[in-house]
Structure 1
Amino acid sequence: MEKLNDLDLDKRLGERIRRLRLAAGMTLDQLSERSGVSRAMISRVERGESSPTAALLDRICAGLGIFLSALFRDEDHGGPLVRRADQPVWADPASGYVRRNVSPAGTGSGVEIVEVEMPAGARVLLDAARSAHRLDQQVWVLAGEMVIMFGGAEHRLSAGDCLQMLLDGPIAYHNPGSVLARYAVVLTTPGRAPLEG
């Protein structure tokens, strides 16, 4: 997957986090307390001075009461069709995993599709507290293999396998193979509230 310029995307992510924080009426200190991320780090992310990892973004999103995929949606420029060239792509600087938001934004649909490429041997742990919201998610492995751990269980998936989970706690993704793994994540967020203020 071809990803956007890192600096440009870092600035856009930071601005989006700042807008969401302000729309929620939260100060940096309040978001820090709710997310477990230091005020200084949140400030650096909002200014686009840091390339945040997936784990850090996940904690900030949990503090904002949103899901990670919401950061990559452009609700202002949506419609029923989004061309591949216009789908937001982001790479986690820690693991090298690359995510593409496939679904069109701004449609009001509660279903989202994300395409992920996970390098061989890579791991991602999303451990933010999720007691305030739950997410129905299905992971469909398109190529390679994945190990997904959540709720105290380990699930080994090969190409063609699909795992459904109601995500309300930490989740770990691991590609134990020697080749790149590709998978699609289908997210359902029933009753999703508008994210923009």
Structure 2
Amino acid sequence: MSDLDQLTQSLARNLKRWRGERGFTLDALAARSGVSRGMIIQIEQARTNPSVGITVKLADALGVSITTLLDYEQGPDVRLVPPEQMVRMWSTEAGSSTTLLVGAEVRGPFELWQWKLMPGDGSDSDAHPPGTAELLHVTAGELTLVVGGEEHLVPAGCAATFEANVAHGYHNKGDVPVEMTMSVSVPPAHAAAY
């Protein structure tokens, strides 16, 4: 990857991250920065390399330095969590369970979960705060993912992502256990202050 490609990818990743941290919609960032919504979309999708002037406007609107916006983010801290420190959150007599594998409070809570759902079992959740995203990967069985009342079948080997700001649930309507890994990213509570 060339330096320019690396810079474009870094800017795309950081712009999305900082916009999410601030709780800004595309339209809100466009209004604050004077950069068009379309240009912001192109930058976030790494389809364009904007001028320095546009990059400065975006950094100013987000309240970060241009260096922060262009940072390659290399060398993050690593924290290992051994199995005996993982937390079983709930279980059923049928053998279903969830285990919180690891979590972080960097740029809002970010968690990694391991799930096991026995046949006929399920778990429902109320809507999370706006901006909450969930990603999951099914490794065994077929999950019935319900988001906003609509069912989606997620077979073993498939992954899914969705905005969790609506009621949602995870169900096993099959005859074999469902196993999956899920991550949840919740925006920081202070985002509304920006």
TM-score in terms of structure 2 length = 0.50
| Whole-angstrom distance in 1 between the partners of 2:152 and 2:83 | 30
1:189 to 166, 181, 186: 186
Q: What are the ranges of 5 or more consecutive residues in structure 2 without an aligned counterpart?
A: 1-77
| Whole-angstrom distance in 2 between the partners of 1:189 and 1:137 | 9
| Aligned pairs for 1:159-178 within 5 A | 159-178=156-175
| Whole-angstrom distance in 2 between the partners of 1:95 and 1:188 | 29
Cα pair 2:136 2:181 within 8 Å, conserved: yes
Per the TM alignment, residue 172 of structure 1 is displaced from its structure 2 partner at its CA by 2.0
| Whole-angstrom distance in 1 between the partners of 2:96 and 2:180 | 11
Cα pair 1:143 1:182 within 8 Å, conserved: yes
Cα pair 1:96 1:122 within 8 Å, conserved: no
Q: How many residues align?
A: 113
Per the TM alignment, residue 93 of structure 1 is displaced from its structure 2 partner at its CA by 4.3
Change (3 A) 1:165 1:104: closer
Q: What are the ranges of 5 or more consecutive residues in structure 1 without an aligned counterpart?
A: 1-78
Per the TM alignment, residue 105 of structure 1 is displaced from its structure 2 partner at its CA by 5.0
Change (3 A) 1:145 1:103: same
| Aligned pairs for 1:103-118 within 5 A | 103-104=102-103, 110-118=109-117
Cα pair 1:95 1:123 within 8 Å, conserved: no
Change (3 A) 1:190 1:108: closer
2:31 match: none
| Whole-angstrom distance in 2 between the partners of 1:164 and 1:104 | 18
2:100 match: 101
Per the TM alignment, residue 82 of structure 1 is displaced from its structure 2 partner at its CA by 1.0
Larger-Rg structure: 2
Off by >4 Å, runs of 4+ in structure 1: 93-96, 104-110
RMSD between aligned residues:
2.5
| Whole-angstrom distance in 1 between the partners of 2:90 and 2:171 | 16
| Aligned pairs for 1:1-197 within 5 A | 80-93=79-92, 96-104=95-103, 110-126=109-125, 128-130=126-128, 132-192=129-189
